[in-house]
A = this chain, B = another copy of it.
Amino acid sequence: MRNIYLNCVKRTEPVIRNPNFARSAKAGARLGFVTQKCNIHSVRNVTAFSKSGADSLRDDFCTKLRGLGAKNIQSRMMGHVVSQRDSRFKKLGKEDLDYFKSVLSESRVLVSKEMGGNADPTELDTFNTDWLSKYVGHSQVVLFPTSAQEVSKVLKYCNENTIAVCVQGGNTGLVGGSVPVFDEVVLSLSKMDKVRSLDKDSGALVCDAGCILESLDDYVGEFGFTMPIDLGAKGSCHIGGNVSTNAGGIRYLRYGSLHGSVLGLEVVLPDGTIINNLSTLRKDSTGYDIKQLFVGAEGTIGVVTGVSIATARRPTSVNVAVLGVNSYQDVKNTYIQSRKDLCEILSAFEFWDARCMDTVLTGFNTSNPLSGDYPFYVLIETSGSNDEHDEAVEKTMENGLVQDGTLAQGKTQISKMWSLREGIPTVLAQTGATYKYDISIPINQLYDIVHDTEVRLENAGIYKKDAAPSENYPVKSVNGYGHIGDGNLHLNIVADKFDDKITDLLEPFVYEWVENVAGSVSAEHGLGIMKPECLKYTKNDQIVSVMRNIKNMFDPNGIMNPYKYLPENK
């Protein structure tokens, strides 16, 4: 017996499942019984799910398991609880592995030792564990196709045999979509990494879906182009993953959505049909633009195997400045003024509050680029073809709202300034357990949610703004930063530890707050396994119902990335 799935669905009622016996037990008293019955000594991976309750029960159970010799025990905090492996899905047998090997060759089928292969556990862990080490799957088989034809054969077979599949790109996604939940076959695109063509006149790039974003940017850079998307994970994430998550990132303000810059896709549907729509044309008005459905589909309706994308001219002149500002109102008005003054050359407008700045300066052991401290900071970037536009940046710095500002001199200073902004999430996470909310809100109200969250936590007596070091509250800080130009706030609440009381105060509060201002509960990270049940706060029943129809149309057997993306159909 390989895996145990422990799902604590309600506070008082943990449900314990294992793939062989699928049995459930009521609370603590029966845990011992279950662990015994499950032959717990051979367990390697244990994932303890928890919706927000049952933490202590889960912790007890994990301790017990550890005592029994289980090594890799993970504990998940997740919004979406999947309590049971879908029994419709076939368990892999030798005949399936033989088929996969016949299509891909032996060397491109990674199989666990327990299933008769050579892969040692750590090798498989890479594919089973997400970037945050927050979600851990239990797959025993990873496939590495190198062409759409191979993907087609694999999917057709899986579809006919009802074998569940989890598509994986660079595995940098932040909502647990890229790792299996139970024993889904992992289909890794990492060996589909060839550039197919670059039109040096138009800048249209066609490549395999598994190309790494940074490699592509380097490649097109040689010809004077730049990718229309950039993000912190660029060294690992795939262009196919970017497309599949409808990723945003720091060039969004300038080059807009992937819905605009993706020119065409090559996609394999679950039934094996290869949809080759790798057009390099900028304009094409012939029928429904079906590729758009795959932008942001997170591997739930097919596999993206090729991407055609419009690259942009690489700007020859880039300027970055950090500004100090007195209030969020001033941040917002500076943004509006900059959009007017800088119009086409404004390429980023990021902000963060004083708490973020303190944390990041301490974390990096560095000094404030400005001479004083301010309630808010802004990073403004311009990029274009004309050096003289520097003056325009300076004009922004001189507007009455900006208290202080410093313009980066040269590339090193530019990247140092960017690292202040980009370092915030990592450094915050180092200071405690971070509750992360990636939300879209109309910019007028963007920072209000930070205040309202503070008030709520203060009223509950678990947080005090600007508490003295001697006062020890469970919530340490409430932080706001993000891409203000895109209306995208990252609300991060740092606590001593993850705690049900805090979670209950934050959820659904945050999601309802977002719903009330017609915001989005996922600005750029997608839904994955984390947010299907939160979809309702942003999309109404009618829309979700159309989504279900689309899912059923492409994937009637539901083999593609099951348990994720759409809420359970009750």
Q: Is the CB of B538 within 8 A of A284?
A: yes
Identical chains bound together, number: 2
Contact status B487-A283, CB under 8 Å: yes
Interface residues of A in 275-334 (CB under 8 A from B): 275-277, 279-290, 292-293, 295-297, 301, 313, 315-316, 332
Binds B, one of A41-49, A187-195, A543-551: A543-551
A210 at the interface (CB under 8 A from B): no
**Is the CB of A526 closer than 8 A to any CB of chain B?**
yes
- B440 engages A281 (CB within 8 Å): yes
Q: How far, in angstroms, from A87 to B240 measured CA to CA in the complex? A: 46
Known A-B contacts A340-B224, A442-B202; the reply to A288 vs B281 at CB < 8 A is no
Residue numbers in B under 8 Å from A540 (CB-CB): 276
Q: Would B565 and A287 count as touching, CB distance under 8 A?
A: yes
We find that the number of chain A residues with CB closer than 8 angstroms to chain B is 91
A23 at the interface (CB under 8 A from B): no
Contact A201 B290 (CB under 8 A): no
CB distance from A552 to the nearest CB of B (A): 9
Cβ–Cβ contact A542 & B276, under 8 A: yes
Query: Which of B199, B256, B315, B538 touches A442 (beta carbons < 8 Å)?
Result: B199
On whether the beta carbons of B282 and A486 are closer than 8 Å, the reply is yes
Please tell me if A92 contacts chain B, counting CB pairs below 8 Å: no
The reply to whether A202 and B443 form a contact with Cβ atoms under 8 Å apart is yes
CB-CB under 8 A for A290 and B392, given A248-B283, A442-B199:
no
Asked if A398 is at the interface of the complex by the 8 Å CB criterion, the answer is no
| Complex CA distance for A293 and B286, rounded to whole angstroms | 12
Residues of B with C-beta under 8 A to A455: none
- Asked if A252 contacts B282 (CB within 8 A), the reply is yes
Which residues of chain B have C-beta atoms less than 8 A from A293's C-beta? 288-290, 292-293
Segment from A13-21, A69-77, A341-349, A466-474 that makes contact with B: A341-349
* Inter-chain contact A281/B386, CB cutoff 8 Å: no
Given contacts A287-B566, A292-B289, A553-B553, are A282 and B547 in contact (CB under 8 A)?
Answer: no
Most buried by B among A279, A388, A487: A487
CB atoms of A246 and B289 under 8 A apart: yes
* 27 CB-based A-B contacts, threshold 8 Å: A199-B444, A201-B335, A202-B443, A256-B261, A259-B260, A259-B289, A281-B518, A281-B520, A283-B520, A285-B522, A285-B523, A285-B525, A286-B522, A287-B566, A288-B546, A289-B293, A289-B296, A292-B292, A292-B295, A293-B293, A313-B339, A313-B340, A340-B385, A341-B385, A344-B345, A386-B386, A386-B388
Residues of A within 8 A of B (CB): 199, 201-202, 224, 245-246, 248, 252, 256-257, 259-261, 273-277, 279-290, 292-293, 295-297, 301, 313, 315-316, 332, 335-336, 339-345, 383-386, 388-389, 392, 440-444, 483, 486-488, 518-527, 531, 535, 538-540, 542-544, 546-547, 549-551, 553, 565-566
Q: With contacts A275-B546, A277-B539 known, what are 12 further pairs, Cβ within 8 A?
A: A201-B443, A281-B441, A285-B525, A287-B527, A288-B301, A289-B293, A290-B550, A292-B293, A313-B339, A341-B385, A345-B385, A550-B553
